[in-house]
Amino acid sequence: MRIALVSDCYLPRLGGIELQVHDLAVQLIRAGHEVTVFTITDGPSSAGDVPVVRLPAFGGVPLGAAVDRLRSSLPGFDVVHCHSSLVSPLAWQAARLAHRPFLTLHSLPSASTPWPLARIDRYVGNAQWSAVSEAVAEVLRQLLPERPIGVLHNGVDPALWRQYRRTAHPLTIVSTMRLVRRKRPLATLRILEQIRAAVPSAVELRAVVVGDGPQTAAAARAVRRRGLSGWVDLPGRMTRCEIQQLYASADVYLAPAELESFGVAALEARCAGLAVVAMASGGVGEFVRPGIEGQLVHSDAEMAAAAAALLSDPAELSRIQSFNHDNNPAMTWTNVLAQHLTAYSTSTWSRPVEVRETQPPSASRR
């Protein structure tokens, strides 16, 4: 099949949707399909073996020339799969132009923040909606009750994350995120402070919060202000290879985001053999079961307590680590690729194209 993957955000920018779209493209190409990525993220005309069409945009909104290119290019593909966050004007425009496109939501909307999904749905027309997790799918089903909503998970290659685990290291807590408010890096530092207070002082601890973003400077100030400099590191952005090496000497992974649509970083840490402590409100619960792969919690205080309990119980920590290291999650790329290809070849659409919005939803919010 000729498959177009459309995503506003893509490599070389790093993030969950960027890496997942790229990995999906790589897996599809390895399976013998012809794949092209369309994006408004600046960069080279290819990402490894993946051809990339970089479209012009201003302020994150595709220009007329970008729309013209989509209109002329998309009819030549058997499948058009658009990948959307909460604001994705390119993906929405492509879904509007394509014949029976797929539209996958990678973000978990907040109940406290209005999101014009009904208007987006009218604008894109007869797109087949899906979500990266059941948590996101449930929100879509509530907001679009007449639409069939499927799940197309993110994927992982467990073998890439199963490095040789180093035993000679202090007990290490890690978290990998973009340092933005939604991911809660400052809350993570407060949780780490509580963990240190709960674990006996004779136990050496180390913590590493990987990533960069708008709250980088604030996080650095918080580390100094809270007196965490002696054991908490903020190394900034790291490559996948560097993160894999870090996880080989780590023990517990924290996933503090309350609106985690899926949790790719947590899934990777789980495959690396780390015990995962995550908020129960998002998609991480689809691959972390309490007492098996880690713990699910409902507050920062619960997260600190659960992590401290694991760090204070070597036998329990070792049991969870061994299970995670030795057992694959359901979301391997073998399974996820089959899930996508089945959807591409068998999906049905429940209704004809309706009267559409004439103005992009993003434009109305500017």
Of the candidate ranges 58-67, 124-133, 339-348, the one whose mean pLDDT is the lowest: 339-348
Mean pLDDT, residues 322-335:
97
Q: Where does residue 209 rank: exposed (0-12), middle (13-18), buried (19+ CB within 10 A)? A: buried
Mean pLDDT, residues 355-363:
52
Average pLDDT, the chain: 93
> Given a cut of 50, is residue 14 above it in pLDDT?
yes
Q: What are phi and psi of 195, to 5 degrees?
A: -65, -45
The full 3-state SS of 294-335, as one line of letters, equals EEEECCHHHHHHHHHHHHCCHHHHHHHHHHHHHCCCCCEHHH
Q: Between vectors from CA 250 to CA 303 and to CA 269, what angle results, nearest 5°?
A: 70
Mean pLDDT, residues 245-263:
96
> Given a cut of 70, is residue 365 above it in pLDDT?
no
Mean pLDDT, residues 265-288:
97
Of the candidate ranges 121-125, 163-167, 211-215, 290-294, the one whose mean pLDDT is the lowest: 163-167
Q: Region of 55 please: left (phi>0), alpha (psi -120 to 50) or beta.
A: beta
Only one residue has tokens 């948590």, namely: 135
**Tally of residues, the chain:** 366
Assign 313 a pLDDT band (cuts: 50, 70, 90).
very high
> Given a cut of 70, is residue 363 above it in pLDDT?
no
Q: Could you read off the pLDDT of 120-166 as tens digits, one per residue?
A: 999 999 899 999 999 999 999 999 999 999 999 999 999 999 987 77
The residue among 114 and 250 whose pLDDT is bigger is 250
pLDDT of residue 277: 98
pLDDT of residue 347: 60
Q: Which two tokens stand for residue 294?
A: 């880690």
Of residues 126, 73, 93, 23, the one with CA closest to residue 351: 126
Domains of the chain (ranges; CATH) run 2-155+334-364 (3.40.50.2000), 158-326 (3.40.50.2000)
Percentage with pLDDT > 70 across the chain: 95
Percentage with pLDDT > 90 across the chain: 89
pTM, rounded to two decimals: 0.91
pLDDT of residue 350: 36
Of the candidate ranges 175-179, 326-330, 362-366, the one whose mean pLDDT is the lowest: 362-366
Assign 359 a pLDDT band (cuts: 50, 70, 90).
low
Only one residue has tokens 């993957």, namely: 5
Q: Could you read off the pLDDT of 74-124 as tens digits, one per residue?
A: 999 999 999 999 999 999 999 999 998 999 999 998 877 778 999 999 999
Q: What sign does the CA torsion over 311, 313, 315, 320 have?
A: negative
pLDDT of residue 319: 98
